[in-house]
Structure formats: C-alpha cells, structure tokens
Amino acid sequence: GAVVSQHPSWVICKSGTSVKIECRSLDFQATTMFWYRQFPKQSLMLMATSNEGSKATYEQGVEKDKFLINHASLTLSTLTVTSAHPEDSSFYICSARPSGGAQNEQFFGPGTRLTVL
Amino acid sequence: KQEVTQIPAALSVPEGENLVLNCSFTDSAIYNLQWFRQDPGKGLTSLLLIQSSQREQTSGRLNASLDKSSGRSTLYIAASQPGDSATYLCAVVGQAGTALIFGKGTTLSVSS
C-alpha cells in the first residue's frame, strides 16, 4: 500500500515551453501533497505545499507564476513548469501524506527528471 | 529556521563492517524524523520513521536512534553489504502536516 506515482519519469523539452508533471496517490487519499526539487549532488528542497481544493503555498524564492500547482482531487496534484529554461533542469519529486494518517508519514513518488535544452 | 546536517558527507567501508551515519537538527521541536535511501537518479525509499516520543526504531540490519533534546539521530547499519551503497538522507517534520526538511545526505560506498 501507500504507492505514489509520477508521470512522466523523465522529459526533455525546449527552452520556452511548458511541462506538466503529475503526482498520483494510487491507493490512498491525500489532502496534502508536497513538491520538492533536487539539483545534482544536492538534497531535496521543498518548493510548495499543495492542498486539495485550495491554493498552494510556495516556499520563499519559488515563483508561483512559473511553477503552477493544481491539486484538483484527493489523489492528483500537478506541477506545471511554465516557460522552462535550462536552469529549471532538475529532479522533481512529489510526496503525499495520507489523509488522517496517524503517523504523519509521507510517501514519495519516483521523481521526474526534467531537462530543458 | 530548521536546519538538518549530516556527517560525514561520504563514507567508504569494506563489506561486513558496521557503520554509523549521523544527523543533527537545530530545532529540537520536531514531530518525527525519517531516514531515507536514495539510489543514483532514483526516488526515495523510506527506511525508518521515528516519532518524537520514540527513542529508536529497528528494521532488519538498520537501527535508528533519536535524541530529540540534543537534536541528534543516528542510523546504524550492521554487517554492511555492497547493496547498501546509496545516499542516505535524514529528514525532520517540524509540525504535523508540514513538509520534510532534508539534510544533504551521506553517500555510502560498500566494497566487496
């Protein structure tokens, strides 16, 4: 149980285009999902907290108009990187926290590697 | 602001050795602490989760301890194997429902 999927697993796009990444909780409902970004040889940095049915909360320094988050259902959150540039190339990982989970454990997706040419 | 530090950044050991990975955090008011494993280019695998009220958790050859008052956690790996080679990440949750704050990880290499 507690499986989180991400799609796509990798994507290459041209500079200036937009890319959408999906994060799905497959066997549980998640009121809250988190989006992280990991640059090479660095740790995961929280980008934003996504709450179902409300606006996402962005961390300082993360442009909300560039990284659009939509959490339209209890099992799906999407991250859209708009007008992508090479510096946006990174590993994007989502996590989902089961609604009502007793231990407050978060389950992570396998990640999406984005390369912007 | 919570900061998580992991020492050492890298570690190389021969197969069979027992080893300890260290994690420290600046704000002792945490909700829980998790240890993860990350293989190159891959996502995260949760290893152990310790609630703030707990002192340790064990899973197979892994044992994680938590000393909240001193802001420290250790991950003990017994009888290391080449398959244990990976980056190990420590992360804390400050309040229930909030995101994990990660350390930079310890990259472990176990030689056969």
Q: For B21-76, what is each residue's pLDDT tens digit? A: 999 999 999 999 999 999 988 889 999 999 999 999 999 999 999 999 999 999 99
Confidence class of residue A108 from pLDDT cuts 50, 70 and 90?
Answer: very high
**What's the confidence (pLDDT) of residue A23?**
96
CA distance A54 to A22: 17
CB contact under 8 A, B101 and A109: no
Burial of A33 (0-12, 13-18, 19+ CB in 10 A): buried
What is the average per-residue pLDDT within A109-114?
Answer: 96
Query: Which residue stretches of chain A are H helix?
Result: none
Cβ atoms of A68 and A19 within 8 Å: the answer is: no
Burial class of residue A89 (count of CB atoms within 10 Å of its CB; 0-12, 13-18, 19+) = middle
Q: What average pLDDT does chain B have?
A: 94
Residues 6 or more apart whose Cβ sits within 8 Å of residue A41: none
Q: Give me the pLDDT at residue B111, please.
A: 96
Lowest-pLDDT range, A94-108, B7-21, B45-59?
A: A94-108
Q: How much is the average pLDDT of A4-30?
A: 95
| Chain B nearest CA to A18, separation (Å) | 23
- Mapped onto helix, strand or coil, the DSSP state of residue A5 is strand
From chain A, pick out residues whose CB is under 8 angstroms from the CB of B43: 6, 93, 108-111
